[in-house]
Amino acid sequence: MADYNKNFLNNKYYTKDDKEKLINNIIKDFQDYQNTLNELKSVRRELEAIKKSVKYEADKDTNNNYDDMLLKNEHYKTLKPKLKELEKLWKKIRLNYKIALIQRKNIYNNVCKNICEYKKAKNIIVLKAQYIGAIINRIQISIIFVSSTITLFESLQGNFVIDAVYLTLIPIVLSSYIAIVLAISRFYKFDTKKENITKVEEKYSYIINRLRYKRRKVLNFDFACEKLELWSDLIENFNKDGLEEMITKTIEESDSLLTLKEHTYYHKVYNKIKTKNSIHQFNSNLLEDWQKESVGNIRINNGPNVLSSEDLPENIYSKKCICYKICRIFNCCKTTFIDYDTFFNLLERNYQHNLQVERRVQSHEEDEEDYQDYLEHDRPEKETHPMPRSWQYRSYNGPPTGWPPTGPQPRGLFSDPGRAPPRGPPPRGSFGRTFTGRYKGRKENAAFDPDSPRTSDSDNDKTEDSSGNNQLMLTTHIKRRSSSIGTDYESDQEY
């Protein structure tokens, strides 16, 4: 059974009619809708029963008027307003559920887009924070190293004989370096910038988690069991949580942290990282497809030939040891490792090969369906007199002159049992098929078409002609539906 909710949320429909069908398939399982519909059907059945009984009584006596008797019926006068009320209620419930479903879909799509947008903004802010953090770490490490050097020189004064110039000059230079570096750090306010970026990052994390919570609540809401009032309360609670004000303040603070040049630079870095992640995600999907197959029966497409599992060690395995980078010139490595680039290239070739095979098979199946539709929905035959059976086996280029006959016909002209059918090769149709093979289901009593002379034939000749001329008909009279064999890929949109 198809998941109509998932198809509706993912916009898997092409026309307005498809959308309405999806909505109807979803609504028909809701409890309130079913209860109202069942009550409406029961009232309609009661009214139909009353009408039948009144009609039966009115037919007995011609003096009775059916409409007057129906209007005088007390039960009918009670059920008629009830039917109208139920119809209004049924339409109202259906409209409310339709609005709620469309509202849920819009909320879901908007929340997903917001999550992707805020995660991207957060990642760019994180790249800026990492850069500032790296600068602060280098400054702190250099200060620690210089302070240790000063301490070392102070300890060497009493134990070693060193020129007083060096003992005095070097500590002064190192102390000046510490003062200059700290002054530059305070001037650029690295610590303050990092704290501000950390606060904005925390706010983005809170916003993303709140949006995920909203998405879960929207997806987990079951209209089949819950009432519409609860859905309205849920939407009102979403609007009262104060998340929109927090989003506005966070975006305002993040805009003040990055200049246009910095935003362009870190956006470029982010795109590179995202590209690498997409490649790893694609490789992960290839591995999942590969694991579904048997390891002993795996076949990887490598160029024109298909490699078996016996050929894999030569292609994807190399040798490596602990001293690989140092001693690789001596070729002393004995530990094997996988060359991941080659391995995933082979998996990708295998994936493309399987995809092409599936497309060819699907295209062939669609062509067969089109051909069957062509056979079933051919042009209508003209209405003519039935052709004598004895003429169906005759080799001719059309009916004899004067056919169809007009006026009274002599007895036994078309059904003489002593007349043997003429011999000769049967004629072919416009596509090389016989008259019986062209039109499905009419094997014996086929009507004659004077525009395209064809006769019935045996089953063997019919099969041979149909298979021999199938490709000609497909290439000349059927347009291939190439748009129906495309594939859709779902990637990680929240990266």
Secondary structure of 114-154 as H, E, C letters: HHHHHHHHHHHHHHHHHHHHHHHHHHHHHHHHHHHHHHHHH
* Alpha-carbon torsion, ordered 132, 137, 142, 148, to 10 deg: 150
In 3-state terms, what secondary structure has residue 210? helix
**Three-class SS of residue 67?**
helix
Rg of the chain taking only CA atoms, in angstroms: 42
pLDDT at 400 (0 to 100): 54
pLDDT at 337: 57
For 328-342, b/e burial (b = at least 16 CB within 10 A) is eeeeebeeeeeeeee
pTM higher than 0.95 for the full model?
no
What is the pLDDT, as a whole number, of residue 3? 79
CA distance 130 to 128: 5
pLDDT per residue of the chain (495 residues) written in tens, 0 to 9: 357 888 888 888 888 888 888 888 888 888 888 888 888 899 899 888 888 888 888 888 777 788 888 888 888 888 888 889 999 998 898 899 999 999 999 999 999 999 999 999 999 999 999 999 999 999 999 999 999 998 888 887 777 777 777 778 888 999 999 999 999 999 999 999 999 999 999 999 999 999 999 999 998 888 888 888 888 888 888 888 888 999 999 999 999 999 999 999 999 999 999 988 888 888 787 777 777 664 434 444 444 444 444 444 444 555 555 555 555 555 555 555 566 677 777 777 777 777 788 788 877 777 776 666 666 655 445 444 555 555 544 444 555 555 555 555 544 444 444 444 444 444 444 333 333 343 344 434 433 343 444 443 444 433 334 334 443 333 333 333 333 333 333 334 444
Residue 259 to residue 242: CA distance in whole angstroms: 28
Closest to 364 measured CA to CA, from 481, 472, 468: 481
Distance between CA atoms of residues 419 and 393, nearest Å:
13
pLDDT in the model for residue 191:
92
Distance CA 149, CA 266 (A): 37
Backbone angles phi, psi at 306, to 5 degrees: -105, 120
Q: From CA 34, how far away is CA 442, in angstroms rounded?
A: 46
Bridge partners of 300?
Answer: 307
pLDDT value for 78:
87
What is the spatial distance between Cα 398 and Cα 244, in angstroms, rounded to a whole number?
82
Q: Evaluate whether 456 touches 444 at the Cβ level (below 8 Å).
A: yes
Instruction: Give residue 412's region: left, alpha or beta (phi > 0; psi -120 to 50).
Output: left
Report whether the peptide linkage leading into residue 81 is cis, meaning its omega lies within 30 degrees of zero: no
401 — phi, psi (to 5°)?
Answer: -65, 140
Q: Two tokens at 426?
A: 């049967």
